[in-house]
A and B are shown apart, each in its own frame.
Chain A
Amino acid sequence: MALITAPNIFPNEEPLEAGTTRLNLGPTHPATHGVFQNILELDGERIMSAEQTIGYIHRAFEKIAERRPLYQITPLTDRLNYCSAPINNMGWHLTCEKLLGISTPKRVDYLRVIIMELARIADHLICNSIVGVDTGAFTGFLYVMQYRELIYEIWEEVCGSRLTTNIGRIGGFERDFNDIAFTKLERFLKEYPDVLREFERLFNRNRIFMDRTIGAGPISAERALNYGFTGPNLRAAGVDYDVRVHNPYSSYQDFEFDIPTGTTGDCYDRFLVRNQEMWQSLRIIEQAYRKIQDMKGQEGTIFHADVPEYYLPEKKDVYTKMESLIYHFKIVMGEVDIPPGEVYHAVEGANGELGFYLLSDGGRSPYRLHFRRPCFIYYQAYEELVKGSMLSDAVIVLSSLNLIAGEMDA
């Protein structure tokens, strides 16, 4: 039987050629959750290659930091990973303290741990619920937003701001936690486990969610290490590297917690690892809060180390005491010389190892400051993660990597 061919009703038009399509995903696409661009080469719906372009919100923080005294660099670190700004702030304070040789009281360490773990929960919460949104489940996102709000309210009580927190000072905190902060923290510890459990019930065994995420954007442990993965993304690939355990800072060695790991490093594992980490963070916060409550007397009210050269004196002392006035003036005018030194300090940020490489030549501001931004480094692997998969996977892989444009571009 002869095949019937359709008559060509557009004889003057050129026939469609089978070829690849170039698709711009970003820079301002709603699915990229940040300002960066992916140029995808598509064959039908299959991704042949991806080229990333970043730098749309580059703000030259490393250059600006070369003109600023140490305490004025903290607001710059806010704007790296703005979903968990307190971790960046604390990382920076800890770097300065390492360079200056300041040791902080235990209570300060524990208060910092509470703030940092709250930040980790806030960050993972956003990341995981966004993965949900990108797979078509909007409920979880709205549901957990209420508790991110509660976390922000706690920060607000401690430092007065919510997103870009500028929380803490070199040596401790600017003021002690008030009762409202502790009440809100108690409320969070009481209510959040149920919410997280329900969030997990929404997703973990959800047929649609599993079909969309299992096997999407997998990476082996070896490749992940070679690509410089850190944080939950590396742990999802099966490597139990966590800065909090390997190089404890801020008294993390005093707490008992597990490092959750995955096996395949795909989107589903990354999602599960983040959920598990939130449970571990809750454990840490509970322990830290109990330890703080157990502190009595002088030890129970201290909230900063005794470093008058770097820690602003109380305002009423500035008006009444000469010494405080001098220190206040020197700190505010940035006239404190930093000792020369070379220091690398890393903290476990919400999406990986956040490192600060600080070189000081003895001047008033760093000679060179370099931020090791985790998602700048692991975003390189994006092409390898999505090559050969479908276009819809590209979006989930983006959101499950927890890419923050502010951190990538510094």
Chain B
Amino acid sequence: MKKLSSEGFRYFWPYLQAYPKELIAASLFGIANGVTVVLMTYYIGVSVDLLIGAGQVDFTGLFRILALFGGILLLTVVSQWVIQILGNRIAYRSVAELRKDTFEHLNRLPLRYYDQTAHGNIVSRFTNDMDNVSVAISAVFIQLFSGVSTLVLALAFMLYLSPLLTIVVLVATPIIFTVMWVVARASQHNFSSQQKITGELSGFINERIRNQKIVKAFQQEGASQERFEEINQRLYVDGQKAQFSSSLTNPLSRVVDHLAYISVGLVGGLLALNGNYGVTIGVISSFTIYSSQFTKPFIEISGITTQIQLAFAGLDRAYEIIQQPIEEPSEENARVLTEAKGAVSFRDVDFAYQEGQTLITDFNLEVQPGETIAIVGKTGAGKSTLINLLMRFYDVDKGSILIDGTDIRHITRDSLRQSFGMVLQETWLFEGSLRANLRYGRKDATDEEIYDALKMTYMYDYVARLPEGLNTRIGDSGIKISDGQRQLLTIARTMISEPDMLILDEATSSVDTLTEQKIQSAFLHMMEGRTSFVIAHRLSTIRNADKILVLDQGNILEIGSHDELLAQDGYYKKLYKAQFAAEE
């Protein structure tokens, strides 16, 4: 309850306002529902009053009232359902819009965010967290619309019947609120520590179960279990406290409600005996019902405080994504890069992933159109970083990168990226047909072009043997393919896209050497005439490059052709010897 004014909620508010028709309709039906609910109670009171005693029952009056009651009942039921339907509509559609906008925002975030945030954490914001919001809206909606008008009308009726008794009931309401507030405050603390341990536990479970085979290899089962039970025990302690403290709200508000009920009986009875206050038995019986109607919305809200708290937490978590600054948009008159010739230059580039930990300083490189640049170096030398900068996944901190003489910051990101064909070590394919995957880079590729690429990557026979050919689905719901085959498919995908320039980052790491050798000519063919950046461990690939860039800690250690570098007798030569000369 403490978090009623969360920033996430303030952001979400306009999404709810996007349904003015539904909101107006809900208010109208809400008023109708409130009126009918109170009227029903009124007529119950009236009819009970007609049953005065033996031989004194006014049957004509009773039948008339009961018929009226039936009509009102129908109105109540219908309006109740309509409000809930409207509430569901707003609850699910507004959250759907929030989901879409958050996703779109996510798509515009810089790679830095993707690289630094746990993916499971992002996914749960789209599923669990946003679901909690829908559930809470739909639960709160009926309370709000019919609850408020019931409340007002019940109050009016109570005042009309007996102002004195009304005061008795009115005293109860703030007490209920106070109880709710106190309990919610107290449980909030327990809740957040429970959430924290839950996160810790699921992190632990995730890590250990995912790597259970390694746990076994090192006989860490016992130690693992011990750690687990320790966290689990802490979860028990805080979870029990949280559950108990939040479960207090409902019984406590019921007690307050009962006390109001009893007071109405007591005070009403005393007033009735006094006789001058217009309080009759019928008034008292109606009043007990009005008072429970009046407090019911409060009690029901107290029953869903947990849901409301979860929804606010969910909105805040979604808002955390929205708050992330997006990739700076392309300049207004940014150039659309088409048919790039492929002259690339790095000028005085500085770059750091984290402020203060500079990885690349004063980096300079000139690449002529059509050249092949091999990048060599130890792990962590900054090879993949160069690719990240070239594709503008990250922006340089200082200096500039130019393609065909234009600073890449003056080129639209999409056209810059599309002009590169990229094959990476990780082989990402999506769930869908082979055709859709292979056409990913060029939507209008014909089957013939696809088959050509498959032939060059030695995947044609495999695909041709599949009963459904290119329509075969891959991924969890489709056929399973090996890492090597996946990599060959990503190579074919890049071939089909016919890029102006190429980036190959360990492009054949999962392919066995025989197959690799077979597709080598296809690679060379693809690289012909295209500026290419190649990261590879295999020196035979590197040997053919026009320039070899030997990197160490973000700096160019050596640069030159294979023969030039061998003559230099430096790091490259040592590397070369490690692979090809016999070991000493």
Is B truly associated with A?
Answer: no
